[in-house]
Structure 1
Amino acid sequence: MPAPTTRELLWGTPDRPRRGPKPSLTLERIVTEAVDLADAEGLASLSMARLAERLGCAKMALYRYVPGKTELTALMLDAALSSPPENHTDPADPESWRAYLREWSGTFFGNAVAHPWLNELATGVRVMGPNELAWLETALAVLDRSGLTHAERLDTVVLLLNHVRGMGLQTGTAGTDLEGELAREMTAVFLTQADRFPHAAVALAEAVPGTESAATAGRDNALDYGIERILDGVAALIATRR
């Protein structure tokens, strides 16, 4: 019997009969352990041999469930994304789409930060899984009565995703403060180069934690700022269609 394809693994395939005792492994357990491994050690550390070691089984036992790393990472991506926020928009409220897309973007960002390897897998031509497609579907659905064309709705979602993913890459792992760390590293440079780079010096100075300027400048706000400006532009376009 041929090995299941990525599409079959993501979207289901007829049950394959198995003989003998009930296996100790399950595909769900394998994927969960693979996600935990990637979270802890990075995607580069993930291998079928390393995963088998963590699961306490022979490497060849994994191939009964998943043909290889390509199929495994596709399952990991869909599992890490989980489900999008519930669509709670009010059809009677023409502005409810904005609140939902704000929540949608923030939730996706949280997933990207919790699983830093997620962005690396969510690129290129590939089969999208049910969770990933659900993220797309719900975002498109809330714009159904907006007056935007289907292509414009899709472009809106892609624009939000690109912003959120980009911020996820810049933020790093949860609990880190890359903005503050960059400002601290560059402080010595700007003490001598502020005349040459005055705008950059002032902007980064406001990011240094503990300073009065950092407390009042809205630091760490690039994610929300970008989301709001994107939604402002979409709202302006929607207004022209009404």
Structure 2
Amino acid sequence: MQPDDAPPDAPEDAAARKHAEALRRDREKAARAAQKEAARAEKDRERARRDAEKARRDRDRAARAAEKETERLRAEQERAVREVEREADRAEREAQRAALDADLAAQRAARQVERARLRAEAAREPGDEEGAADLPPGLAVLWRAAPVGRRGPRPGLTLAGIADAAIALADADGLAAVSMARVAERLGVTTMALYRYVSSKDDLLAVMLDAALAEAVDAAGPGDAPPVVPDGTPAWRAALERWCHDQLELARRHPWAVQTPAAAALPGPARVAFLERGLRALDGTALTWPERTAVVGRLSLHLLAEGQVVAAEAQAARASGAAGRDDGGSGDGPGGAGPAAHPALVDYAALLRAVTDPAVHPVLAQALDAGAFDDDAVAEDDDGRPDWGLRLVLDGVAAVVARAEAREAARAAVRRGGDG
């Protein structure tokens, strides 16, 4: 309010004030509008920034997804390439294996054809012994006097020389060392040249075994069974004991002889002669022919088992001697912890004592206490006769011979009674 003594406003001043007030209000309104517009612009800028950030994140996500997909596709392609390469390598190996199999099959077929040709030529060989060409190939080689084939220069090999070379190999290094290639190398010829004489390793083993057995036949010499010995032993028993002793001696000299496969045990000349000698030993007894062949057969089975023990002892002794020479003379004996692994060479008594309970096995314990299972419980005779086990078998044969003689005596008595 104006003071009482103030002069009243002029109309122009009032209008000016109103105008100024209006301008102030307009300015404030414009300022508020500007602030509002600035706030709206800031919101738009923030929204645009967020949208740009989201777009950037979307682009990065899309880029990573695209990179991952590219990596996956590349890995799949590499796996596919590796699989194709493996398949190609496998196909190549299979092709090589098939080619090798075909080559081996062709070589085997060629060898079979060559062997068939050699055997056919052997059948036409004029120097063959009569009837040898009609024998199976494995048996014919043992009975053939001339080598297989007739083409080329006069052969420088003989079956006896081949057998000697193979026996030397087996004696030195064991039966596993014998092969067609090694025998041919020892003889200074090719393997195929050796096939002109023996067509397989089985034939070679058969020739070796018969040649080794011939040593026993030659050692016995000609003639019939020996006469009755001073202690009253019958002639047949003395002859059989010698026959058995020679077979065990063969196993001692040539341990491999009891390790040959059954295919090598063919009736060659030496084996037939040895069988003849065994049967001849029973001449003069009252045994029938089936009984004589049964005696010889059972003795042969017993000697095969005993020969394996003898062979194992001989191998152990040789290996122990070789070890002793290598280390200055120390080595295990044939019954010790040497290289031989035959069960008969194990300290069986010690093993039994370790597991036998006298409360559970009283009889076995008594036998062990008595030394019945010790190695020296049963000794050979001082004069070198066969061991106790063989004497046990021969005592059984003696009982059979005695029964046969009693049977013959009874028949003779019946005939005499009928004649009277």
Report TM bin, short chain: 0.7 to 0.9
Shift of 1:122: 6.5
Match 2:226 to one of 83, 89, 94: 89
Is the contact between residue 112 and residue 165 of structure 1 (CA under 8 Å) also seen in structure 2? no
Match 1:238 to one of 401, 406, 417: 401
Which residue does the alignment assign to 1:120?
259
Shift of 1:219: 3.9
Shift of 1:187: 3.6
Name structure 1 gaps, 5 residues minimum: 208-213
Distance across 1 between alignment mates of 2:183 and 2:279: 37
Shift of 1:126: 5.9
Percent of counterpart pairs with the same letter? 34
Shift of 1:153: 0.4
Name structure 2 gaps, 5 residues minimum: 1-116, 123-136, 318-332, 337-343, 406-420
Is the contact between residue 226 and residue 235 of structure 2 (CA under 8 Å) also seen in structure 1? yes
Distance across 1 between alignment mates of 2:292 and 2:261: 20
RMSD: 3.2
TM-score by length of 1: 0.79
Match 2:365 to one of 198, 201, 206: 198
* Poorly superposed stretches of 4+, deviation over 6 Å: none
TM-score by length of 2: 0.48
**CA 219–177 in structure 1, closer or farther in 2 if over 3 Å, else same:** farther
1:136 correspondence with 2:275: yes
Which residue does the alignment assign to 1:76?
208
Alignment of 1:100-115 (within 5 A): 100-115=239-254
Distance across 2 between alignment mates of 1:18 and 1:33: 24
Which residue does the alignment assign to 1:28?
160
Higher relative contact order (CA 8 A, sep 6+): 1
For residues 18-49 of structure 1, give each alpha carbon's deviation from its aligned partner in whole angstroms, at most 9, with x where no partner exists. Answer: 532x4443322111111111122222222111
Give the number of equivalent residue pairs: 231
Is the contact between residue 181 and residue 191 of structure 2 (CA under 8 Å) also seen in structure 1? yes
Counterpart of 2:387 in 1: which secondary structure?
A: helix
Name whichever of 82-91 and 62-71 sits farther off: 82-91
**CA 69–200 in structure 1, closer or farther in 2 if over 3 Å, else same:** farther
Distance across 1 between alignment mates of 2:372 and 2:227: 41
Match 1:19 to one of 133, 152, 172: 152
Which residue does the alignment assign to 2:171?
39
Distance across 2 between alignment mates of 1:13 and 1:44: 28
Distance across 2 between alignment mates of 1:230 and 1:189: 26
Match 2:378 to one of 204, 218, 224: 218
Which residue does the alignment assign to 1:177?
334
Is the contact between residue 73 and residue 121 of structure 1 (CA under 8 Å) also seen in structure 2? yes
Answer 1 or 2: which has greater helix percent. Answer: 2
Report which of the two structures shows the higher radius of gyration computed on alpha carbons. Answer: 2
Name whichever of 100-109 and 218-227 sits farther off: 218-227
Is the contact between residue 47 and residue 69 of structure 1 (CA under 8 Å) also seen in structure 2? yes
**CA 23–106 in structure 1, closer or farther in 2 if over 3 Å, else same:** same
